[in-house]
Amino acid sequence: MLPRWIQFALATPVQFWVGRRFYVGGWKALRGGGANMDVLIALGTTMAYGLSAVVTLFGLLDQHVYFEASAVIITLVLMGKLLEARAKLGTSAAIEALIRLQPKTARVERDGVLVEVPVAGIQIGDIFVVRPGESIPVDGLVATGESGVDESMLTGESLPVDKHTGDKIFAGTLNQQGLLRCRAEGVGAATMLAGIIRLVREAQGTKAPIQRLADQVSGIFVPVVVAISALTFALWWGIGGELAPALVNAVAVLVIACPCALGLATPTAIMVGTGRGAQVGVLVKNAVALERAEKIRTLILDKTGTLTEGKPVVTDVLAAEGFSERELIMLAASLESGSAHPLAHAIVTHAQENNVQLTPIRDFRSVTGKGIQAVLDVPALGAEQQVALGAPAFLSESGAEVDTARIAPFVAQGKTVVGIAAGARIIGYLAIADKLRASSREAVGRLRGMGIDVVMLTGDNAATAKAIAGAAGVAEYRAQVLPGDKAAAVAEFKSAGQVVGMVGDGVNDAPALAAADVSFAIGAGSDVAIEAADIALMRSDLLSVVDAIRLSRATLSKIRQNLFFAFIYNVLGIPLAMAGMLNPVIAGAAMALSSVSVVSNSLLLRRWRRR
Angle in degrees, 0-180, between the axes of helices 584-603 and 67-91, rounded to the nearest 10: 0
- Catalytic annotation, residues: 302
Residues 198, 185: Cα–Cα separation, whole Å: 19
For residues 402, 403, 407, 412, the Cα torsion angle rounded to the nearest 10 degrees is: 90
Three-state secondary structure readout of 129-150 = EECCCCECCCEEEEEECCEEEE
Q: 453's torsion region: left (phi>0), alpha (psi -120 to 50) or beta?
A: beta
Q: 321's torsion region: left (phi>0), alpha (psi -120 to 50) or beta?
A: beta
Question: Alpha helices of 187-280 — where are they, by DSSP H?
Answer: 192-204, 211-240, 243-256, 259-279
Question: Rounded to an integer, what is the distance from CA 404 to the centroid of its chain?
Answer: 48
Is residue 153 within a helix (H) or strand (E), and if so which, with residue range? helix 152-155
Q: Three-state SS for 60?
A: coil
Q: 35's torsion region: left (phi>0), alpha (psi -120 to 50) or beta?
A: beta
β pairing state of 453-457 and 476-478: parallel
Residues 9, 7: Cα–Cα separation, whole Å: 5
Burial environment of residue 401 by CB neighbours within 10 A (0 to 12, 13 to 18, 19 or more) = exposed
Residues 32, 41: Cα–Cα separation, whole Å: 18
Contacts of 425 (CB under 8 A, 6+ apart): 320, 400
Contacts of 496 (CB under 8 A, 6+ apart): none
Q: 403's torsion region: left (phi>0), alpha (psi -120 to 50) or beta?
A: beta
Q: How far is CA 174 from CA 98, 101, 149, 152, 192, in A?
A: 13, 9, 6, 9, 14
Residue 161 near residue 195 (C-beta atoms within 8 A)? no
Q: How far is CA 442 from CA 146, 177, 307, 542, in A?
A: 33, 32, 11, 9
Longest dimension (CA), the chain: 124
